[in-house]
Amino acid sequence: MDFLVLFLFYLTFLLIGVVLICIITKNQRLKGLVLGGAQVCSCIIPQCLQRAVQRLLHQLFHTRNPTFIILHLLLQGLVYAEYTLEIFGYCQELEFYLPYLLLPYVLLGVNLVFFTLTSSANPGTINKMNESFLLQVYEFDDVMFPGNARCSSCDLRKPARSKHCRVCDWCVHRFDHHCVWVNNCIGAWNTRYFLIYLLTLTAMAATIAILSVAFLVRLVAVSDLYQETYIDDFGHFQSVDTVFLIQYLFLAFPRIIFLLGFVMVLSLLLAGYLCFTLYLAATNQTTNEWCRGDWAWCQHCPLVAQSPSAEPHIYQNIHSHGFWNNLQEIFLPAIPCSEKKKK
């Protein structure tokens, strides 16, 4: 059990690192740095291993498969198993307020509902039936989205803010990104589900982290550990300090301390991504547009600065119509009548 949790912990952060590299390589200068590092590694790593890794990465990130859904549910199951078997029972013995202890289960139920909706809902697939309708939803800016563009794969006119997903092999209206964790694209018609899914996932991790910390603090207070003394390596009596308390708790409750570290790191990562996603929603942008836009603050970064001869160009967002209108557009998207009948 402990080995499996440890393995999944490191695997998760390895996958997060790969995803971050994929995001970084959206920029050409950083992409060059990453490719340069890959060329150096290719001189050391055997060719057979390189091909195996390339096949694995292609299977994980460039084809639709349930690998990350299984990993996602497995991680949730392990976290909640540890919370139920140890933290929940200990907190009941210490007379914690029961609704606080049940809150993670309520969040889990809501999260699973919106996880299912995000992964199964139509993200906004463009076809010949809805092509003419979706062409009228957003205005073409003739910079990032030219009005006469056609998709070479789908042989359809590309509505503004759309993009062909290479993983799903279809064009998506108001394409944001392809999320491997839900095995689906995030587009105009399921962004609302994705936001609530991400919000509840962040709240789940933060709630379990807070309850774990509260349990450890209550345990130290009830047992008066901070008033105890111990004998150091030189045979002298020392008062218990913070470092000793952490070491003692880690030896007494290793799985709880490990779980606490995991959910704390996960909470920070999810909270950062949630803030970024909410910023995009509030300003009516997509991740695809944000990555493709040539922002002013990027031009001052030494790694991505343009040459002096290049003409500076800043992409102007013409689709933002105020905070509340932007949110209304996400939660009440324009849907063709034919799609409404299918639902």
* Pair of tokens at residue 286: 């997509």
Answer whether residue 1 shows pLDDT above 60: no
Paired with 297 in beta bridges are none
- The verdict on residue 228 lying in a domain is yes
Q: Say what the pTM is.
A: 0.80
- The verdict on residue 7 lying in a domain is no
Q: Give the confidence band of 5 by pLDDT, cuts at 50, 70, 90.
A: very low
- The verdict on residue 187 lying in a domain is yes
Split into its structural domains, the chain has a count of 1
- The verdict on residue 46 lying in a domain is no
- Model pLDDT for residues 34-47, shown as the tens digit of each residue: 455 556 556 666 77
CB neighbourhood size of 74 (10 A)? 12
- Model pLDDT for residues 317-331, shown as the tens digit of each residue: 888 889 999 999 999
- The verdict on residue 250 lying in a domain is yes
Length of the chain: 343
- Model pLDDT for residues 189-235, shown as the tens digit of each residue: 999 999 999 999 999 999 999 999 999 888 888 777 666 666 666 66
Q: Give the confidence band of 67 by pLDDT, cuts at 50, 70, 90.
A: confident
Q: Which domain holds residue 188?
A: 66-123+179-298+320-331
- The verdict on residue 162 lying in a domain is no
Catalytic residue (one of 179, 298, 301, 337): 179
Active site residue 179: yes
Helix (H, G, I), strand (E, B) or coil at 178: strand
- CA dist., res. 109 & res. 131, Å (int): 36
Answer whether residue 25 shows pLDDT above 50: no
Q: How far is CA 260 from CA 44, 87, 254, in A?
A: 38, 11, 10
- Model pLDDT for residues 263-288, shown as the tens digit of each residue: 999 999 999 999 999 999 999 999 99
Q: Give the confidence band of 33 by pLDDT, cuts at 50, 70, 90.
A: low
Burial profile 110-147: b = 16 or more Cβ within 10 angstroms, e = fewer? bbeebbebbbebbbbbbeeebbebbbebbebbeebbee
- The verdict on residue 222 lying in a domain is yes
Phi-psi region at 302: left, alpha or beta (left = phi > 0; alpha = psi -120 to 50) = alpha
